[in-house]
Structure 1
Amino acid sequence: MAAAVAVALAALGAAGSFSGAFAAFQQFADPGVLARWGTPAAQTLSNLSAAVTAGSLVLAAFVLPAGRDARRALGIAGLAAGVWTVTALAALVLGTSWATFLPMSDPAFGTALWSYLTDGEVGRALLGAALLAALTSTTALLVRGPSGAAVALALVIGALGLQASTGHASGASSHDLAVSAMFVHLVGAAIWLGGLIGIALLGHRATTRAATVRRYSAIAGWCFAAVAVSGVVSAWIRLGSLKALDTDYGTLLITKAVLLATLGGAGWLHRSNVVRHLEGVERLDGGSRRAAGLFWRLAAVELLVMGAVSGVAVALGSTAPPVPDDPISDPTPAELVTGHPLPPEPTFTRWVTEFQWDVLFAFGCAAGVVVYLTWYRRLRKRGDRWPLARVVSWCCGMVAMFWVTNGGAAAYGHVLFSGHMVQHMVLAMVVPLFLVLSAPVTLLLRAVPPRKDGSRGPREWVLFLVHSRYGTFIANPIVAAVLFAGGMILFYFTPLFEWALTSYVGHVWMFVHFTLVGYLFANALIGIDPGPSRPTYPMRLVLLFATMAFHAFFGVTLTTGTALLVPEWFGLMGRDWGPSAIVDQQRGGAVAWGIGELPTLLLAIGVAVQWSQSDAREARRSDRAAERDGDAELEAYNAMLARRAERSQRSN
């Protein structure tokens, strides 16, 4: 571990010296050697400690069985988060000196620091990340078990999201794409690096357990894919062309890519060689130090390479890229408001061909298809049947999600209220319909074997969430209907709408919220997956038509309204095509009414079909029972009627 940190700092020094990123400025503007070299050194230590925090929490939440090792992993995460807090604050103070060209001994530095933390967007984001790191430290040291680890991990992801908004291209026209790519990159790298360090810090007992290494290796494989994809996107944003590889920035980028490829090869060896040998040793003698040696011979090299990658990455982030990340010069109104150019006037073809990429959701949709098809293939290999229609339904849902978050709907949804409403309706009404009909939870329960060592894998986490009090509450059909219908009012007529438009975090929250609420509502009505106690079929139709009426009311309200929502956004686009902002908003109301009706009708048909099938199954059950007992139920019913008739005659 000490060697990994030393390698990271040595790589930082070598890369920084090569690119001149930390060289002295002009005499009158040089903040001093402490700021120039202390800032990247503190940032490197901050990144390493953040990775240890994230990786240890992932181990506690998804890899290790509840007990001694999981508690130790939480303790490691808490201590690492404390180091993360201190080093992040140190990097923030030193970085302020670097950014303002003021030595910390300057009397004006205190005022500049306060202004940087309160007025500057980057300063506020970094301070927020440090505060979340402190909260993570407290949480990890107080909680017990995988649920507490998951809560602490959510705080880490939030801090990394804030950090992602401060990198290269944060002020350029590719801001949203750069932020999404950086976020995926940071999360993937932190879990990958931190998970291995966490296993190392747990010591001999963890490294000899084949299940621990196997589960970490699977997670690391996904992290490698995320880091590779997001790294390519980030590199293209900052390079602009392949010719730019012949620069100091390009040389460091190539160095980082080679190191990452080396790590990918080491991960493949973990998966194909080390895990197999560990499992063989466990079957023979229950584990030994020889088995730990199989792990350490590869892990030691991997840790050192990871340290080098960390140092090069910080130097790369401090080196000026070929494509400047300066704010847009002579911006258009749309660029001032949204941060990217106004797309051309929408046509049917452009709704299909225009793209506004989001690495997070693009990677998520691709991963969703791969995972579902893997589970489907697993069932087929062991001879189990799974309807092909469900596979098609899932793939259609992922394609629809990809189009909404990356295609024409994303391009026009950011500048037109009507386009935004298309996004909303597809996410809330169309995508969930495909997902519910594909029964992903049922497939998961059939394809993924249960764990028997007390740890929580995907199967255990899904069952825990489904049967938890919170999961049961929000999945209740009435609650789901209220969230589905009432959430629109709360979202559009409160500051949440503006937050979702102006903040990438809000943007992501909006997509997740719409999809999740739509899924809960559709699953309560026609779901195949295990879930809440579903109401009777007549009650389901009542809920559905009540929601349809609310949608119609919401659409009419927007169609007839004359007050523009978020006027400082939609009213300042400077569009030279299309209707005015208020007319477009009224069209958005018609979209909400029109697009919402077809999925609602399909849901109604689905409820009716399930109702009919339920009656048919009940009739068949009754027929089989009658064949077994000679229709005893009917005979008993006729005898009861005869007795009533006899009593009636006697009374007369």
Structure 2
Amino acid sequence: MLRFFRVIAPAVLLAVTLAAVFWGLAIGGAADERTLLDPGDIVRYGLPLSRTLVNVSIAGLIGSVVMAVWALATDRDEYRIAMDLAAASAAVLTVASAATIIFTYIDVSNLAFSPDASFGAGLAQFVTEIELGQLWLWELLLGASVTVLAFAIRGRRSTLIVLIGALLTTLPLAQQGHAAGASGHSQAVNSLLVHLVGAAVWLGGLVTLVFLAKAVSRDRLALLVSRYSTLALLAFIGVAASGIVSAWLRIGSFEDLFGTGYGQLVVIKALALIVLGAFGAVQRQLLIPRIATGERGGWIFAWLVTAELAVMGIASGIAGALGRTATPVPQESAQDLVGSTPAEFLTGDPLPPELTFSSYFTEWKFDLAWGLVCFFGIAFYLAGVIRLARRGDRWHVGRTIAWLIGMLMLFYTSNGPFNAYEQYLFSVHMLGHMMYMMLIPLILVLGAPITLALRATAKRTDGSWGGREWIMWMVQTPWSKFITHPVIAAVIFVGGLWVFYFTPIFRWAMSEHLGHQWMIIHFLISGYLFSLTMIGIDPIPKRYPHPFRLVILFATMASHAFFGVTVMTGDALLLADWFGAMGRDWGADPLADQKTGGGITWGIGELPTLALALVVAVQWARSDTKEQKRKDRAADRSGEAELKAYNEMLAKQAERDAKVGPRR
């Protein structure tokens, strides 16, 4: 069976996927002939088919590279097979993206395909000047680049480059999955991004196992399935959560869930997801133990995986049809709507109610991606603590509490009132900035997550790299030594303020979804690095003396205060055509609000830095005490041999001086 498994299973996946696309188009009505500007049967069916092929090829690309990085040994054939699959998937992605560009252009322009110059000129204009065309052009270029990288790169660490490129291929799809400027755009894009990555790891990892089944032993296959099963569980959580959020943003009401073609397709996809969850449970509980020990373990694995791929094909095909089906909630940009308010025109969302003290408890703007970051951060940390406890090791409860508080604060900041108001009020934006950059990283560093991970994660001996091996490598790289130097960390920490707020980066972060996500990540990483170099106990290449750290801290405090005073005393409004054009009829005027933000930076922002200085001073005192105790214990063990030797040396010197004295 395994001899034909590598042919049968992928064939089943593709066949069921194509059938599901046609089925979904019929249910949703996307295949019906249009009354006006109909592009023809070829485009009506060809466009969703090519987009579905894009999704499946991305899954093969990401899933195989993730398995290569996380589960496979580079000195075995399994790694070569996975990277060959990645290269082939990237090549298919490139071709499918090119076909999708042509189909999409014909669909939006209603021009028939033609080899003449006018069609080519229009197509060139579409991919260079129209956002939808630009996004598909990026998809094509990313696919071509990753194809080359996957063929050329065959090394453990360099595979990370291929993985980064593979993950980037999901960004253009996530960006075009919801109209820019439409209500809920940021939540929709993040949800779709989580959905795409989770589905890719889930489907692509399983396809990778199909191609590895014949090349590895039964014991090795059982181990690889076990590692894949862990990834699949995480992917299932992400796909389920993101699917719910995406469906709600596009359906809007329970009646439309069953009363529209789009809603019915969502229901079918949800049922497929439930079945796949059951397959995952069977895989973890029954399949993995029988692969290596059961007489028919190979047959059971082959049939179960083939059936699972068939259900995944249904979900993939329905997803392709959903992309062409009209949503019950119109996905229209606020810029295209008559009567939209200035706030809606700029942000895509309506202006929130007036900010009051109670708003900090009642106003929420949930972000699934950051919510999952917090959820998995807490889950993994507690799993590590539990693993240590089960083997009899202790982990300080204060570190656990610090990590939980830090993660809960990150959830509140990224999903609560700061996220709801930061686009409209500079003061709230700056308060959130202080949370991301100064308070949250400080608390998270006290949790010592790297130390916990190194202690709780088992060392691998099969030639593959897991969490422990990747962490050890990252800690010891020259780049880590560079960015964990206190001076460099302080320059990134403080210099980033000036570069961010006084360059076009600020506008990019406020007006573009990708820029906003980059802003949060930059603030968190820069703050974490700075706190780690000052007070962290996690391993870094070099830990510098406490006096040096205190000098850096006070210099940082002065520079940070100067930035806050500059903003607070400035007479020019930052991003006047943004914060000054929201049309607010409540709260302080934009310039006064900006001065408040500067005061927050100068006043409140210095408190975490002062806390860092106090912690460094306490650590310095404790280190001196520990050093003295060490010397005392050494003296007790040696009978104060060093002191006796020193006294004897002084006595001999005195005798020599006494003998020399009378001669003079």
* TM-score interval, smaller chain: over 0.9
Residue 202 (str. 1) matches residue 215 (str. 2): no
C-alpha contact (below 8 Å) 1:30/1:102 kept by paired residues: no
One-letter amino acid of the structure 2 residue matched with residue 79 of structure 1: A
Quote how far apart the aligned CAs of 1:169 are: 4.9
Change in CA separation of 1:320 and 1:634 when aligned onto 2, cut-off 3 Å: same
**Which residue type is aligned with residue 577 of structure 2?**
E
Does structure 2 conserve the Cα–Cα contact (< 8 Å) formed by 1:70 and 1:145? Answer: no
CA distance in 1: counterparts of 2:216 and 2:246, whole angstroms:
35
Q: 1:596 aligns with which of 593, 600, 605?
A: 605
Match of 1:381 in 2: 390
2:89 is aligned with 1:80: yes
Tell me, in whole angstroms, the C-alpha distance in 2 between the residues paired with 1:642 and 1:568.
82
Give runs of aligned pairs for residues 157-176 of structure 1, distance below 5 A.
Answer: 157-176=167-186
Q: Report if the CA contact (8 A) 1:204-1:292 is conserved.
A: no
Partner of 1:227: 239
1:42-75 deviation line (CA, Å, top 9, x unaligned): 1111111111001011011111111222122112
AA paired with 2:261?
Answer: D
Q: What is the aligned partner in structure 2 of residue 294 from structure 1?
A: 300
How far 1:18 moved relative to its partner? Answer: 2.1
Unaligned runs of 5+ in 2: 1-9
Q: CA offset at residue 651 of structure 1?
A: 5.6
Range that drifts further, 249-258 or 567-576: 567-576
Shift of 1:173: 0.8
Match 2:645 to one of 632, 636, 645? 636
Say whether 1:541 aligns with 2:550.
yes
8 Å contact 2:181–2:346 — kept in the other structure?
Answer: no
Aligned residue for 1:284? none
Tell me the distance in 2 between the aligned counterparts of 1:168 and 1:578.
31
Deviations 1:485-543 (A, max 9, x none): 11211221222211111222221111111111111111111111111311111111001
Question: Given that residues 200 and 207 in structure 1 are in contact (C-alpha distance below 8 angstroms), is that contact kept between their aligned partners in structure 2?
Answer: no
**CA-CA distance at 1:190 after TM superposition:** 0.9
Does the Cα contact within 8 Å between 2:181 and 2:347 map onto a contact in 1? no
Instruction: After superposition, give the CA deviation of every residue in 1:376-411 in whole Å (9 maximum; x if it has no partner).
Output: 111112221111111110011111111121111111
Superposed counterparts of 1:101-140, under 5 Å: 101-105=110-114, 109-140=119-150
Q: Distance in 2 between matches of 1:168 and 1:501?
A: 18
Q: In the TM superposition, what is the alpha-carbon distance from 1:561 to its structure 2 partner?
A: 1.4
The answer for the alignment partner of 2:267 in structure 1 is 254
1:300 is displaced (CA, Å) by 0.6
Q: Give the Cα–Cα distance (whole angstroms) in 2 for the partners of residues 483 and 326 of structure 1.
A: 39
Q: After alignment, is 331-340 or 487-496 more displaced?
A: 487-496
**CA distance, structure 2, for counterparts of residue 650 and residue 581 of structure 1:** 87
Change in Cα spacing, 1:546 to 1:650, as seen in structure 2 (3 Å) is farther
Q: For 1:158-557, list aligned pairs within 5 A.
A: 158-206=168-216, 208=218, 209-245=221-257, 246-280=259-293, 290-328=296-334, 329=337, 330-557=339-566
- Contact 1:477–1:532 (CA<8 Å) still a contact in 2? no
Cα separation, 1, equivalents of 2:623 and 2:590: 49
Structure 1 residues 630 and 566 mapped into 2: Cα distance closer, same or farther (>3 Å)? same
Provide the C-alpha distance between the structure 1 equivalents of 2:106 and 2:358, rounded to a whole number of angstroms: 51
Residues 640 and 232 of structure 1, relative CA distance in 2, 3 Å threshold = same
Say yes or no: does 1:577 pair with 2:586.
yes
Any conservation in 1 of the 2:64–2:86 contact (CA below 8 Å)? yes
Does structure 2 conserve the Cα–Cα contact (< 8 Å) formed by 1:62 and 1:146? no
Provide the residue aligned with 1:285 in structure 2.
none
Note the C-alpha offset of 1:643. 4.0
Q: Confirm or deny that 1:144 pairs with 2:154.
A: yes
The answer to whether the Cα contact below 8 Å between 2:43 and 2:106 also exists between their aligned partners in 1 is yes
Matched pairs, number: 644
Deviation at 1:111, TM superposition (A): 4.2
Q: Which amino acid aligns with 1:393?
A: A
Alpha-carbon distance in 2 for matches of 1:112, 1:166: 20
CA distance in 1, matches of 2:482, 2:453: 22
Q: Partner amino acid for 2:190?
A: S
Report the Cα distance in structure 2 between the residues aligned to 1:170 and 1:304, rounded to whole angstroms: 34
Equivalences for residues 8-19 of structure 1 within 5 A: 8-19=17-28
How far, CA to CA, are the matches of 1:220 and 1:176 in structure 2?
26
| 1:50–1:190 Cα contact (<8 Å) kept | yes
The answer as to whether partners of 2:60 and 2:205 remain within 8 angstroms in 1 is yes
CA shift, 1:564, in A, is: 2.2
CA-CA distance at 1:207 after TM superposition: 7.5
Deviation at 1:106, TM superposition (A): 9.4
% of aligned pairs identical? 45
Name whichever of 583-592 and 520-529 sits farther off: 583-592
Once the two structures are TM-superposed, the CA of residue 648 in structure 1 deviates from its matched residue by 4.9
Contact 2:105–2:123 (CA<8 Å) still a contact in 1? yes
- Indicate if the aligned counterparts of 2:58 and 2:169 stay in contact, CA closer than 8 A: no
Find the partner of 2:63 among 44, 49, 55.
Answer: 55
Q: Take 2:119 and 2:40, find their aligned partners in 1: how far apart are those partners?
A: 13
Q: Secondary structure, in 3 states, of the residue corresponding to 2:230?
A: helix
Which residue, 159, 165, 169 being the options, matches 1:155? 165
Specify the SS of the correspondent of 1:336: helix
Contact 2:333 / 2:348 at 8 angstroms: preserved in 1? Answer: no
Task: Report the CA distance between 1:562 and its aligned residue.
Answer: 1.8
Q: Which residue of 1 aligns with 2:626?
A: 617
CA contact (8 A) 1:171 1:325 kept: no
TM-aligned CA deviation for residue 615 of structure 1: 1.2
Q: Is the 8 A contact 1:354 1:407 kept in 2?
A: yes
Gap change, CA 1:15 and 1:54, over 3 Å in 2: same
Separation (CA, whole Å) in 1 of partners of 2:113 and 2:41: 11
Calculate the aligned-residue CA RMSD, in Å. Answer: 1.7
Q: Does 1:33 align with 2:33?
A: no
TM-score (norm 1): 0.96
Contact in 2 for aligned 1:60/1:145 (Cα 8 Å): no
Which secondary structure state, in structure 2, belongs to the residue aligned with residue 145 of structure 1? Answer: coil
Q: Please give the alpha-carbon distance, in whole angstroms, between the structure 2 residues aligned to 1:51 and 1:21.
A: 24
For 1:310, give the aligned amino acid: S
**Per-residue displacement from partner, 1:190-230 (whole Å, max 9, x unpaired)?**
11111111121233134832221111110010000000000
- After superposition, the C-alpha distances for 1:81-130 in whole angstroms (9 at most, x for unaligned) are 01101101101110111122222249764444233222222221121122
CA distance in 2, matches of 1:474, 1:162: 31
Q: 1:277 Cα shift? A: 2.0
Q: Is the 8 A contact 1:136 1:155 kept in 2?
A: yes
CA contact (8 A) 1:429 1:599 kept: yes
Is the Cα contact below 8 Å between 1:35 and 1:103 reproduced in 2?
A: no
Distance 1:250 1:634 in 2: 85
Deviations 1:292-339 (A, max 9, x none): 323212111011111111111111121111111122332111111111
Relative to 1, partners in 2 of residues 1:649 and 1:602: Cα closer, same or farther, differing over 3 Å?
A: farther
State which drifts further: 172-181 or 17-26: 17-26
Structure 1 323/207 Cα, relative in aligned 2: closer, same or farther at 3 Å? Answer: farther
Q: 1:540 to 1:87 in 2, by over 3 A?
A: same
